[in-house]
Amino acid sequence: MTSAQPIVQMQGISIEFPGVKALDDVGFRLFPGEVHALMGENGAGKSTLIKALTGVYHPDAGTVLIDEEPRSFQTTADAQAAGVYTVYQEVNLCPNLSIGENVMLGQEVRGRFGVNWRATHRAATEALRRLGLERLDTRKPLSTLSIALQQLVAISRAMVSEVKVLILDEPTSSLDASEVEMLFRVIRGLREDGVAILFVSHFLDQVYEISDRLTVLRNGQYVGEHLVSELARAELISQMIGKDLEALTSLGGDRRTAPRDETGEEPLLRARELGRKGAIQPTDLDIYAGEVVGVAGLLGAGRTELARLLYGADRPDSGAVELHGTAADIKSPVAGLANGIAYSTENRRDEGILADLTVRENLVLSLQARRGWAKPIPRKQQDEIVEHYISTLNVRPPDPNALIKNLSGGNQQKVLLGRWLATQPELLILDEPTRGIDVGAKAEIQQAVVDLAETGVAVVFISSELEEVVRLSERIVVLKDRQKIGDLLNGPEVTAQQVVDIIAQHGVEAAEAMESELEELTPTTGEGGPA
């Protein structure tokens, strides 16, 4: 049962980084004894809001209240002292220490001659007992535990600190179904004890299973707060994604409206049962020359993970890939390039551009890598390549010697697109190519995708903006919870809302199927009910 007064109130929170307004007048409330989900796509401002609450960032404007008192945490230690504790996806523990040492780290029981280790391990056992983990041997190395149990150990550490607010940042991303249920049992117990829990996850089914209330952010702005029981899944997805169709150029992406004749046309790439444990379940996929295949799904659905398997950035645990009907072992990005596959990452800043190099150097980088560093590209050829793509893609400013870090995000994205086009790929995988760029640059990149397909290049187009996926794609692959749940042939009758409905309905159907299965498995004793 939640308290009448929120334990956390964030009012008018704004945080600006150079060139980016990460949060713009955002409000947030969290009540004792509730699980509150913070929802939004990548870049929505979730992590920034958490860091503003926990002392990592200091808001440029706004107020943070804990128990109705204004607070300004200078460090995460200050936040923890006030009972605000965060458990991250990558648990912040010491695997070389024992379980008990991790639980009590910084809070060891001390005696006259230093740490009383016997008493410390007793206290650790008591903290673990609150989570039903008293059977764990506190003297065993933490490294002997599964990731799920390590996360519970991290939560136990918070229990030692008398936590009031527990923030769980993507806690289930590396867990299997049984481990998720174990974590949820702990969360429900903490909720009953009055702990306020902020739950961050991209898994919609899990949000609806465990959360009482949710707040939606989009593009650094507050969208709304809702009781989970009163918000349909389709409406939640719509609020998270937003719509800007009217502001973009109409590009007529449904160029083909009839199914391809698989007997008469061989796919450029055929994947069968391609999967990687913890990343994407075994997936079948055919991609044809000149086809734009859109990949739709919420963040965490497995979109990037599938792309990385196709390109060779990650090795699959299962399945096989054929190119032009011949088995292909694409075990590295080098092998991907050698087989005519190019991949533009969603992480433009950290994995895409080389910030301290020029536009010229960034443009020719992949082509040079494909040729080998022992065969440098002649300067004249470089000039021709650079001039062509700067002109074709309308890079501004059109200065090949400008440092790429000084360009806008949209122009950086154009340079990256040119980098991969210079390798003359047969298959180009674009992961969120229009994220974080202005409307004009979006339209130019989208037009480039359409033009590429017309020349026979196959394009895999991954985007969180469903309208542009529908507008550009000949076919749409729908992912959810790391599995393929749909494969739609595009056409005039296909809308972004239909894709939203497929994602939302899949969760409902899965839940109903599971409920039905459990009912069948539950033994009964006539009218007396369950045995």
Which of 8-12, 148-152, 362-366, 471-475 shows the lowest per-residue confidence on average (mean pLDDT)? 148-152
Please give the domain boundaries of the chain with CATH numbers for all domains: 8-241 (3.40.50.300), 266-340+426-522 (3.40.50.300), 354-424 (no CATH)
Please name which of 390, 495, 512 lies closest in space to residue 444, comparing C-alpha atoms.
390
How many whole angstroms from its chain centre is CA 261?
Answer: 35
Taking all residues of the chain, what is their mean pLDDT, rounded to a whole number?
A: 84
Does 250 have pLDDT greater than 50? no
Helix (H) and strand (E) counts for the chain?
16, 22
Partners of 87 in the β-ladder: 168
User: Phi and psi dihedrals of 264, rounded to 5?
Assistant: -105, -10
The whole-number pLDDT of residue 267 equals: 94
Q: How far is CA 92 from CA 105, 186, 490, in A?
A: 11, 19, 45
Residue 377 DSSP class:
P
Partners of 403 in the β-ladder: 358
Q: Exposure pattern of 307-335 as b/e (b: 16+ CB <10 Å)?
A: bbbbbbbbebeebebbbeeeebebeebee
Is residue 486 within 8 A of residue 478, CB to CB? The reply is: yes
Please count the other Cβ atoms lying within 10 Å of the Cβ belonging to residue 252.
Answer: 9
The whole-number pLDDT of residue 218 equals: 86
Rounded Cα distance, 277 and 174, in Å? 10
What is the CB-side half-sphere exposure of residue 370 using CA atoms within 13 A?
Answer: 19
For every residue of 405-452, DSSP letters joined together read GGS-HHHHHHHHHHHHHTT--SEEEEESTTTT--HHHHHHHHHHHHHH
Is residue 34 within 8 A of residue 197, CB to CB? The reply is: yes
What would the mean pLDDT of 349-364 be, rounded to a whole number?
88
First to last CA, the chain: 31
- 80: confidence class by pLDDT, cuts 50, 70, 90: confident
Digit-coded pLDDT (tens) for 130-163:
777 888 888 999 888 877 788 788 888 877 777 8
Q: Output 465 or 64, whichever has higher pLDDT.
A: 64
Please name which of 67, 33, 74 lies closest in space to residue 52, comparing C-alpha atoms.
74
Please count the other Cβ atoms lying within 10 Å of the Cβ belonging to residue 491.
Answer: 12
Is residue 395 within 8 A of residue 258, CB to CB? The reply is: no
My answer on whether omega of the bond before 171 falls inside 30° of 0, hence cis, is no
Is residue 64 within 8 A of residue 70, CB to CB? The reply is: yes
Q: How far is CA 368 from CA 337, 357, 364, 375, 457, in A?
A: 11, 15, 6, 8, 21
What would the mean pLDDT of 272-287 be, rounded to a whole number?
94
Is residue 381 within 8 A of residue 440, CB to CB? The reply is: no
Across 115-124, 209-218, 293-302, 492-501, the highest mean pLDDT is recorded for 209-218
- One-letter identity of residue 129: R
What is the CB-side half-sphere exposure of residue 383 using CA atoms within 13 A?
Answer: 3
Which of 31-40, 147-156, 464-473, 486-495 shows the lowest per-residue confidence on average (mean pLDDT)? 147-156
pTM of the predicted model as reported, rounded to 2 decimal places: 0.56
Rounded Cα distance, 486 and 503, in Å? 9
Rounded Cα distance, 171 and 55, in Å? 21
Residue 455 DSSP class:
T
What would the mean pLDDT of 93-118 be, rounded to a whole number?
85
Helices 439-454 and 409-421 pack at an angle, to 10 degrees, of 10
- 114: confidence class by pLDDT, cuts 50, 70, 90: confident
What is the CB-side half-sphere exposure of residue 169 using CA atoms within 13 A?
Answer: 16
362's enclosing H/E stretch is helix 359-371
What percentage of the chain carries pLDDT values higher than 90?
Answer: 40
Does 353 have pLDDT greater than 90? no
Please count the other Cβ atoms lying within 10 Å of the Cβ belonging to residue 495.
Answer: 12
The whole-number pLDDT of residue 437 equals: 67
As to burial, measured by CB atoms within 10 angstroms (0-12 exposed, 13-18 middle, 19+ buried), residue 295 is buried
